Amino acid sequence: VSYIRALAEEGSRFTAAVPVAEAENAVRIMTVHGSKGLEFPVVALAGAGKRFNYSDFTSLTIFHPEMGFGMQRVEREALRRYRTIPYAAAASREKRDMLSEEMRLLYVALTRAKERLILCVSEKDLHGAIRQAAALYTGGDKPTPAAAGGVSSYNRWMLAAFLRHPAMKGWREETGADLPETPADFPLAVVEAALPEGEAAAPETLPEPDREMEAALAERFAWAYPHLAETKIPAKLSVTRLTHKQ
C-alpha cells in the first residue's frame, strides 16, 4: 500500500509485471501445483507443517462419486449427531482419495530439485511429533497404509522417513523405535529452539489501561437512542391493520 501511495504521489504510471525468465538468477515462489513439470537447481519446501483440510469430513452430508451420498443422523432432542454407515463409507473413501492426492503433491515437491533440496520441518512439540512419527511403524520397518493415513500434515510423513537417518539414532533410542538405520549421504540436523542457559523468559507485561479512554468508551457503549419508540412506527398501514388496532 505504501508503494502504491508513493507512486500515486509521484505521478508514476503503473506498469505490468515482467515475468521472470527461467534463466534469470532469481528466487521464484510458487505452489506445488505450479511447479509440476519444472526443475530448479535449488528447491526449498515451505509450509510442510500446514494441516490437511479435514473440514469436509465434519459436515452433515458428504458425497463420493463411487460410494454415493451419506448423511449424519441428528437427534435434536439430545443435541447430538452420529455417523451413519453410508456416511462413514463415503467419508473413508473421500479421505483416502484426499491423502493420496496430498502424497502425490509431496512427491512432486520432492522431485523438483536438480542439485539441492532443502526441507524444513518445524514442530511446536518436537518430542511429541517424533513419537507420533515413530508410531507409524506399527507393521515392522515400514509404515502401514492405515497408519500413514492418520497423519495431519506433510511433516509426519517426512519425520517418519527421517527417523531412519543415522543422525536420528538418539531420537530413535529415546522414543523406543526399533528401526533399521538407512545409510544416507545428505546432512540432517535437529535444532531445538531454546533460551541460553541461565536466561529465563521475561514475563509478559501489559501496558496500563487508559482510564479516560475506558470511561469514554463505556459512555458511548451505554448510549441509547432517545427516540427508539418512534422508529417502530410504520411508514404506512393497511386498512385491515388499522381495523385491528381499533
- Summarize pLDDT for 51-75 with one digit per residue, the tens: 888 888 888 899 898 889 899 998 8
pTM exceeding the 0.85 threshold for the entire prediction: no
Rg (CA), the chain: 30
The amino acid sitting at 225 is Y
Long-range pairs, 172-175, Cβ under 8 A, ≥24: 172/134, 174/127, 174/130, 175/130, 175/131, 175/134
Residue 151 buriedness (CB in 10 A; 0-12 / 13-18 / 19+): buried
What are the C-alpha distances in Å from 106 to residues 7, 116, 243?
41, 16, 73
The stretches in the chain having pLDDT less than 50 are: none
Each residue's pLDDT tens digit, 100-121 = 999 999 999 999 999 988 888 8
